[in-house]
Every structure is written in structure tokens, then in C-alpha cells.
Chains A and B, each alone.
Chain A
Amino acid sequence: MKTVTLTDFITDLTQQGNVTVNATIEPFSEIEKQEACQVLEQYYATTLVDIPHTAPAFLPEAALWGAMLIYRACQSILLRHLTESQVRTYLLPYSGPPSAEAIYSIDLTLRFLPDLMHFAKGLSPDDVLVQLLRNTAQSWPFSSVGVDIEENSDHTTFIRLHPSLKYAYVDRIIQKRDHKRLTHPELYDLVKAALGIHADRFWPELKHVTKDLTHIEY
């Protein structure tokens, strides 16, 4: 059977949305990682024309971490014989400092996390994989719009302070109608401004959400 490299996985994920993973877990070689970084950087370049303003710079180690995490998460969903400790080993959190560059580079593949979580919804809520995916969603709010998480004020600040991430985040919040992400008055105002006088047409439920999010009047 053909071995699916990390590069193959990233290419399929970003171009087709359908992926194949190896049935056994083998460590990624250094050459595989280097090639994956090149593919990720090429994909990063193609995203620049779609994101508002100027995107944060490409951070190879962050982008690579995100791609490997998604690859291992896909394997963990399919290979149910893996032990809890093995899954924890494969889905280690990002070790670098948070930054706008890290958020966007990781998002190149982590933007598929909500779809992956939907795919894993058949698993028990107590499954370690589900818990780790939820923790990842919690850590990277920019990539997990639509997933019900607690506020991550550190990352939200990075998002708010970068014009590109800020407007892209607002687009995603509107697209997913995720009112729980309006955790800051500035985000609330940006969403209201984006919808303008047509808020009732695009997002009728938004009128029930107050600026401080303390009164959800359904």
C-alpha cells in the first residue's frame, strides 16, 4: 500500500478536502518535514489574496505543528486501538510563543479542525482524543470558530490587534453565526458594522445578543 506522506496529506487536505492517512503511525522524517514546510508555504502564498489586509508572516515551525497535529488527529480517529498515552504523545500542544504569525500559520491546516471535530462526534465525549481536540480548539480560537469554547483572551487579543486576523475573524464569526465569539466590545462593533442595516437579513438572531453578552434574550 502506498505510504501517505505529510506532504501528500497537506496537498489533499488543502486542494480537495479529502485525505488518506497511513494505517500505522511512523515518525515524520526530517526530509518529510522540510518538504511539508515548502508545501505549506506555497499554500500560505495562495491564501494571501483572500484574506483581508496583509496576512501575518509565515512561521514554518507553527505551520508544520498544525499540519502534523491534524494528520495525527485523523489517524487517532481511525486507529481506535491507540492507547490514551499514545494519543497524548501524538497530539502535543504547540510549544512556541503565541503570536499573530503563529495563529495564521497554524490556521493553514487547523482551519479544518471544526470539520474534524464533527467527524469525531461519534466518539465518547470522555474520549481523550475528543478532549485533546477540544483543548486545541480552545487554544486556537481563530481556527475553531463554530466550536463552543470558553473565551481565550490571550489569543483573542492577538487577533484583535492584527488588522488582517481581526477582519478575517469577524468574517468567520458571521459565516458560522457564532455569537459566543463576540467576547470583546470591539468584535461586537465590527460584526454590527459589517452587517450594517442588513443585520436582520444576514443574522436575525444577533438582535438578541447584547454588547456585553450577558443578556441573551431568546
Chain B
Amino acid sequence: MRYLKTSEAAALLNVSPNTLRAWERRFGFPKPQRSPGKHRLFTHGEVAALRDALQEGLSISSAISRAREGLAADANSLVGALASYERERADAAIEAALALRSVERSVEEVLLPTLDEIARRYTVESAAWAFAAHWGSDWLRRAMRLTPPPVRQVSIVLGDASRDELDRDAPYIRALELFCVRAGVKVLSLSARGVAGIGDAAAVHRPNLVVVAGGHLDDDTVARWAYAIRLAVGAMPLAIYRRGAERPRVRATGTTVLPPGAGDAQRTLLELLESDQIATASASAAAAELRAQGRIARSHR
């Protein structure tokens, strides 16, 4: 994946950086990612597609529409490959998507919409969905194995409350896991069914946050699992992901409900982790100050 800075993308399109930023505001395209320093990073594929479309366009809007159509072709070809049970062609389609987008955007804009389309078109009871869900889950796990080791000092425990990989929520949970790992967060993914020995796992992992993801398991099972974690490592923030908004809840105080999109959920999680870190850091700073004040008071005495 090749990224371009704003000035490089503007030079490729023969426009000024201000014009490029104006297009992003008005049309939402090309859509940049952000570097760790919050600078815009445009994917070369999107900029090149727009440059070609501008040659033939009658307006910026129509050129952008054409460029978007070209990029959407990846999702269509992936749907076709999965619907015809062709694993190699599906791999090639997602590779083509990766040539134009980051891993996160390929998953969010191509893989997950494709799986949704297969489920909508053929239902989750179909062989097509079984094949597509298995392929999607396999691809996400492969992508996770290729991710460099975590760099942040934060970790989460993810309680998987989905049925199995044929659950419609399962690809979203795997995608959230992948996005968090790629953001440098240590993730321990466990089934929310298993309570035995959970204390040992949690004590070793020392999570900053617990996420319960998936809507298949009932609230009692999930609550038992969360309670076992709490017994092992104490109280900590809890977030729920794709548990079903319509499910009636008895008590959800202090729980954060993550947005259904994997990318949005990852961003919310990172904000939660950062605020938790800030809170922990200010608590330790306050404690250190109190200790220092105590020492001064003792020395005065």
C-alpha cells in the first residue's frame, strides 16, 4: 500500500493542497487516513483513480462518482467470487482492494459489505454464506497473524458471545479484533461461555478494558463471565459490541455501547483506553503529590 502526503497527492492531481482539502470537505473523497502525527495520508490508488476520472469528467462531482464506481468494483467482484465458491478469485479480489486501500478500509469497505450482501442475498442458512463466512474469518485471522507485535501498554479482553463463525456478527468481531491489534493494542479473545480458569487468563493479561461482543449468548451467561473477570482483576470499564440494540437490558450502568461499524468501534475503544490511561495517570500524579506533601509536612515537623 502506497500512501501520499497532501502535497504529493495535490501534485499528482495538479491542484493545490487547499483544493484537495476542499474536495475532502465537500465530497468526502479522496478520503485520507491520518498518520500518528495527525497528518493526512491519501492512498495512491484513490488519487490515481480520481486523476484518471478527471480527464474524462464534466465536473468534480461526476469524476468522483466515476472514481468511486471504479473502486466499488472490488466489492462486486468479491461477491461474485464468493457466490461461485472460488477461493482463489476471492483472494485475488481482496488483494486488488488492498492495492487501493489500507487493510482497515479494505475490510470496512469491501470485505464486510460483501459478507453482508451474501447474507442478504442468500440468507445465513445457505451454503454460500457458510463458504463466505469461513473465507472471511480465515482471511481476517491471516491478516491478524501478519500484524506486528503490540506497541501500546494497553490491553483488552474480548469476550466473544457470538454463536460460531457462521454468526453474522462474527466477521465484525474478528474485524474489531484485527483493527485493535493493528492499532497496537494487546487483545485476548476468549469465548464468553468459558468461565473455568478465566481468572488466571485475566491475571496474566492484566486488561485495561473488557469488551463483550456478539449477541448470541444470553445476558446471564455473559454476566457470569464478566463477573469472573472482575473477581480476578477488579473493577474495570466494560464495553459491549453488537449485542443487539433491541435486546432489553436490566442494568447497563457504566457500560459503553460501541457503534456497530468495526472502524468506529475501534476508534471509540481507543478513546476509552486513552481516557482510562489519562485517569490512571492523573490518579497516580495526585497520589504522588499527596505523598510529596506528606514528606514535606513530616520534614517541617
Please say whether chains A and B are actual partners in one complex: no
Using a CB–CB cutoff of 8 Å, the interface residues on chain A facing chain B are none
